[in-house]
Amino acid sequence: MTESPTGLLIYFDETARLAHIENCGQFETTFTDTFSDKDWGFRKRDVVGIVYPDNIIRFWALAEKGGKVATAKVRIKFTHIKATEISIDDLGISLPNKLRSHYVRASRGAGGRIPVATWQALKKALREIDHDSYQAILELERLRDSAGQIISSRGLETLVQQRDAVGVALDIFDPTQRCRKDVVSNWTMPPGDMGRSFLDGLGKVRCIEDNLISSDANAFGRSDSTRNMVGGVIIAVGGRKLETFNVNRTAIEQSLGVDLIYWNEAFQSWVLVQYKIAEDDTETRGKHYRPDAGFREQLSRMREFRAKHPDLWTPSAGNLNYRLCGDGFFFKFCTRMQLVVMSERLTPGFYVPRLLVESYLTEQSSLGSKGGELIKFTSESRWISNSLFTQLVADSWIGTRGATTQVISEIIRRSLAAGRSVVMCRARPESAQANLSETIDELGLRS
């Protein structure tokens, strides 16, 4: 639901708070503070400008109202922070005094929401003197108005899986989970339609340094197309870079599923995660998955690949090549889930190595009531959780060894040939420069 088109200017007139705000704002991370809810009446989410004692707006942000922390006080979380530097006095003749009269002062219960007409006048002035700030407010208003929106459309299942694949890759890359929360919570539905991939709805998130979209629009809608649609971003944490791509050969609603390929270049290792939907099992109160012809064909492709590229390791290969499981192929069995705008959560589910799936299929219990294959997951079944999986991949305890661009390119081609959408991530070694075009050429993704 669209909120009233207005916002707040929060005047931080206590110097003790400024150092923390400055540090968080400079690196565009989140921070929290407490305010009097009774005096100012914060909504669930508000677009705010953060004003310093010198009457300069230093940051724009989205203020999210949290729980009570004391009598008549609530915790406010500031997210999606955009740095700026605008003097209130530069906004015209009469506007500065109007804005000052509505300052929300952090030190005491004074001020309030800016009237709609004054807020619109502020945006008009910003459009003329600071277009970046004007665009920042529009983006924050878009996030505010779409927060909590539940997306329902064709191709939703693929979009949910792409979102999770990007989130999982970010948790592997950054174990603090901050990068994942910052990135996926910025997603909104692209204007007009669903777009080509989850990456299209990210907008300008803070950790994306560069953006490359290389696509042939005419290829969409042609089921016999063999051209690749490639979208990519570079995500940075400290001196480390993660190149994240989405590769498709069909429109998103025609995809047969999602594969995540994570390439840990420092360990020369990759893992492939194939997404599957697990349904509720009323008999066991767990989950079950019913393999179909497509699943059996995918398993066959994996066996064929492993026969061509056997997993071999000897002590002389070195400790960096040691793995607890060197197969590289995993399945993530997920529940059906709605796509909620600005949600930070990963899709509930669990990971099962390919070899363990093969074991489940040999068991007598894998037969359904009519003799068809049925994999049942109960509380006694063995699987890997989201948190454990990301940790094992990050440290390369699981994954292949001796990965080469030729092998990874072959894996991607196999996935695309099966009609699947590929989320491919390349984690560069410490201090190594990212280069999207180089990776696209090395993996042969332009054709």
pLDDT digits (tens, 9 = 90+) for 3-44: 557 888 888 877 666 766 766 555 456 777 777 766 556 678
What pLDDT is stored for residue 212 in this prediction?
36
Q: Are 309 and 407 contacting, i.e. CB atoms less than 8 angstroms apart? A: yes
- At 373, which amino acid appears? E
Q: Is 441 within 8 Å of 232 (Cβ atoms)?
A: no
- Using a 10 angstrom Cβ sphere, with 0-12 exposed, 13-18 middle and 19 or more buried, the burial of residue 152 is exposed
251, pLDDT greater than 70: no
pLDDT score of 301 more than 60: yes
Characterize 374-403 residue by residue with b for buried, 16 or more Cβ atoms within 10 angstroms of its Cβ, and e for exposed: bbbbeeeeebbebeebbbbbbebebbbbeb
Interval 209-219 mean pLDDT: 32
Helix or strand run (H / E) with residue 127: helix 116-129
Give the start-end residues of each E strand in 303-409: 329-334, 339-340, 349-353, 375-377
**What's residue 215's pLDDT?**
31
Strands 45-51 and 8-11: parallel
Q: What is the mean pLDDT of residues 438-447?
A: 84
Instruction: Look at residue 165 in the predicted model and tell me its pLDDT.
Output: 94
So where are the chain's domains?
Answer: 8-146, 150-442
* Closest-CA residue to 182 (of 137, 145, 235): 235
**Region 135-156 average pLDDT:** 73
Structure tokens at 407: 């092998």
pLDDT band for position 209 (cuts 50, 70, 90)? very low
Share of the chain above pLDDT 90, in %: 23
Mean pLDDT score, 101-120: 78
Tokens of 295: 């699943």
Beta bridge partners of 445: none
What mean pLDDT do residues 363-387 have?
77
Cα separation, 188 vs 58, in Å, equals: 25
Region 237-259 average pLDDT:
81
Give the confidence band of 328 by pLDDT, cuts at 50, 70, 90: very high
CB 2, CB 42: distance < 8 Å? no
pTM: 0.72
State residue 221's pLDDT score: 30
3-class DSSP state for residue 338? coil
At 190 the pLDDT is 65
Percentage of residues of the chain with pLDDT beyond 70: 78
Binned at pLDDT 50, 70 and 90, residue 447 comes out as low
Q: Over the chain, what is the mean pLDDT? A: 80
End-to-end CA distance of the chain: 42
Question: What type of residue sits at position 389?
Answer: F
Q: Pairing relation of β-strands 150-151 and 339-340?
A: antiparallel
